[in-house]
Amino acid sequence: MITVNDLSVQLNGQLILHQVSLKARPGEVTVLLGPNGSGKTTLLLSLSAQITPQEGRIVLADQPLAELKTRALARVLAIVPQEHHPVFPYTVREVMLLGRLSRVGFWSQPGARDREVVTEIIELLGIKHLAGKPYTRISGGERQLALLGRCLAQEPLVLLLDEPTNHLDFRNQVMILQLIRELAHQRGLTVLLTLHDPNLALIFADHVILLASGRIVAHGKPAAVISPETMADLYGLEVGMLCQGEQRLLYPKLP
């Protein structure tokens, strides 16, 4: 569970988030939708203790974020960032093994169980062919898969993902979001992720939160929140919708 109450964040004298309150529940995928600059990434950075808010309270898995030390936080929460710039040429397997550090004692090396967990995740993600390759020499999309694997290796209760479909082709976008949804439902993970494409949110989200200018403007089930009217207000363009049975698809109305 993620619980946020009256969160306000100011950076460089600019108010980025204003009185944001939300909940993301275990076993569900909650999607944040909003235009660039709406505060989505700032919210995720606040939830992962990389930014200190000026006001508000954050609770992760029934534990106040302010009371969690770094090692304890790593056992509760994992985050896949939007961008990651590697420094050392670790192999993909080694990068994923770093996710086990919070589970390993001080001055200890990863053991057989840690390597077993990583091997299982490599197979789950279908990236066995990447396991021995240098992380610095694979594509952006492949790095996204490796970072997701590192996060899953932490065995967190809460998973944050900032634009996890960035750099991925159509097939891998669907594969990753379907996998994330299955993990949330099957393992009871609390998943909060940001997306740009409302159609992907319609397909894969259990709950949607619309964020504009640092404020939550709507939240609820995807079908109730995502409509041509709300998307027009959120993104400032005319939007239409195609419907076929229960399937719905948004599209921009071009002049």
Say how many CA atoms lie within 13 Å of 86 toward its Cβ: 19
- What was the pLDDT predicted at 143? 86
Instruction: Give the whole-angstrom CA distance, residue 68 versus residue 153.
Output: 20
| Dihedral class, residue 212 (left if φ above 0, else alpha if ψ from -120 to 50, else beta) | beta
- What was the pLDDT predicted at 243? 86
Quote the crossing angle between the two packed helices 140-153 and 112-125, to the nearest 10°. Answer: 140
pTM score of the predicted model: 0.91
Instruction: Give the whole-angstrom CA distance, residue 81 versus residue 175.
Output: 18
Instruction: Give the whole-angstrom CA distance, residue 40 versus residue 35.
Output: 9
Rg (CA), the chain: 19
Q: Tokens 């770094």, residue?
A: 70
- What was the pLDDT predicted at 217? 95
- What was the pLDDT predicted at 231? 94
- What was the pLDDT predicted at 89? 84
- What was the pLDDT predicted at 112? 87
| Residue type present at position 140 | G
Q: How does pLDDT run along the chain (255 residues), one tens digit per residue?
A: 999 999 999 998 899 999 999 999 999 999 999 999 999 999 999 999 999 999 999 999 999 999 998 888 988 999 988 766 666 788 999 999 988 888 776 566 778 889 999 999 999 888 999 999 998 888 888 888 899 999 999 999 999 999 988 878 888 889 889 999 999 999 999 999 999 999 999 999 999 999 999 999 999 999 999 999 999 999 999 999 998 777 888 988 887
SS3 assignment, position 234: helix
Q: Where are the domains of the chain?
A: 2-252
- What was the pLDDT predicted at 155? 92
Sign of CA dihedral 76, 3, 199, 33: negative
Q: Tokens 């698809």, residue?
A: 249
Q: How many CB atoms neighbour CB 137 within 10 A?
A: 11
User: Residue 61 has which token pair?
Assistant: 């898995």
User: Residue 39 has which token pair?
Assistant: 């505060």
User: Residue 65 has which token pair?
Assistant: 């974020």
Of 58, 47, 123, whose CA–CA distance to 80 is shortest?
47
CATH number for region 2-252: 3.40.50.300
- What was the pLDDT predicted at 229? 94
